């Protein structure tokens, strides 16, 4: 599980996978059994080992109340990875969403320009709606494009605040093949300014002005 919070990320991994990591990759190593989490140690790339429930409570209290301008990533190591993930989710109201990476016959990707940032079509699930159905619907609503759904790419998690409530948006992403773009049109009600088909090199350039979560999705897609 990887969570995008503003422009830093949190990764939760188990002990087995952690054995492949080198501590030289990190600026700070914190043993949660031996010391309390302090904001001054949350800068650069941070590894926290022996993560327990009080660790999560303390960490997210800091994240929600303090500006961590120099933090790039936190890697949490626990022998109960699933438990840690559920505990993190409990810190937020979880909203489920779905989106798509639509590819045309020339191998180009459909990108949208919204709020001065390059993005991909996505949106919240309607009540009782499956992720696949929602992804197809959102692509059509936001872009006026019909597409056929393919394989799941990945799931992303990112946080934001809405009406003083902390939200964790869980988005399932799917690869899609274009069926018809003859009625392609940006949904202005969703602040979409323009749509553009982009080849791989142009996508790379667009990613300079995008979100970390979108860069993560496209990296997985091209892999």
Secondary structure class of 15 (helix, strand, coil): helix
Of 18-32, 82-96, 125-139, 150-164, where does the model show the most confidence?
125-139
- Give the confidence band of 134 by pLDDT, cuts at 50, 70, 90: very high
What's the N-to-C CA distance of the chain in angstroms?
A: 18
**Beta pairing partners, 123:** 98
Cβ atoms of residues 73 and 212 within 8 Å: no
- Give the confidence band of 175 by pLDDT, cuts at 50, 70, 90: very high
Q: Which domains does the chain have, with CATH numbers?
A: 2-89 (no CATH), 96-222 (3.90.79.10)
CA 221 vs CA 170, 173, 194: distances in Å: 18, 9, 22
* pLDDT for 43: 92
* pLDDT for 52: 86
- Would the CA dihedral through 202, 205, 207, 209 be positive or negative? negative
* pLDDT for 17: 84
Give the list of residues 6+ apart from residue 58 with CB closer than 8 angstroms, or none: 36, 37
Cβ atoms of residues 111 and 198 within 8 Å: yes
* pLDDT for 141: 96
């Amino acid at each position: 599980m990887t969570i995008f919070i503003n422009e830093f990320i949190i990764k939760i991994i188990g002990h087995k996978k952690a054995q492949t990591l080198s501590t030289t990759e990190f600026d700070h190593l914190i043993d949660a059994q031996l010391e309390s989490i302090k904001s001054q140690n949350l800068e650069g790339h941070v590894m926290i080992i022996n993560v327990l429930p009080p660790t999560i409570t303390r960490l997210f209290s800091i994240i929600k109340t303090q500006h961590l301008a120099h933090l790039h990533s936190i890697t949490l190591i626990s022998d109960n990875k699933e438990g840690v993930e559920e505990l993190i989710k409990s810190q937020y109201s979880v909203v489920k969403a779905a989106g798509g990476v639509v590819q045309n016959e020339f191998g180009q990707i459909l990108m949208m320009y919204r709020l001065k940032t390059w993005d991909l079509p996505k949106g919240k699930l309607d009540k009782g709606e499956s992720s696949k159905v929602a992804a197809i619907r959102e692509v059509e609503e936001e872009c006026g494009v019909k597409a056929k759904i393919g394989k799941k790419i990945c799931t992303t998690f990112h946080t934001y605040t809405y009406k003083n409530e902390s939200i964790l948006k869980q988005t399932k992403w799917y690869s899609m093949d274009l069926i018809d773009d003859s009625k392609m049109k940006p949904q202005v009600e969703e602040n979409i300014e323009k749509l553009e088909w982009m080849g791989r090199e142009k996508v790379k350039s667009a990613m300079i002005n995008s979100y970390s979560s979108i860069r993560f999705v496209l990296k997985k897609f091209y892999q």
